[in-house]
Amino acid sequence: MNQNLALIDHFQLRFLGLKDLDEFNCQRREGLLPEELYPKGLSAERQWYLYQQIREHISNDQDKNSTCPKPIYPKPKGPKLN
């Protein structure tokens, strides 16, 4: 048995609408569970907002670069950004 699946407790199985771990494993094998969703990433507008408005509040330069790097997209035109 997959060790990660062993960590699922009774409450989580009930939340999923399943009675037990065997039912979960059965549905997983049969492909009845939904596909994984992958995030699309931040829009250019959101990236520029983080860079211009939030970055200044991060004290560590390394954290600034990982949290709010300069966007690679051109700055969108419009009244939303300063």
**DSSP state for residue 80 in the 8-state scheme:** T
What DSSP assignment string belongs to 1-35?
Answer: --HHHHT--HHHHHHTT-SSHHHHHHHHHTT-SPP
Count the alpha carbons within 13 Å of 6 in the hemisphere toward its beta carbon.
3
- Rg (Cα) of the chain, in Å, rounded? 21
Return the SS3 of 70: coil
Q: Which residues of the chain have pLDDT under 50?
A: 1-2, 6, 8-11, 81-82
Q: For 58-72, how does the pLDDT look when each residue is reduced to its tens digit (9 = 90+)? A: 999 999 999 999 999
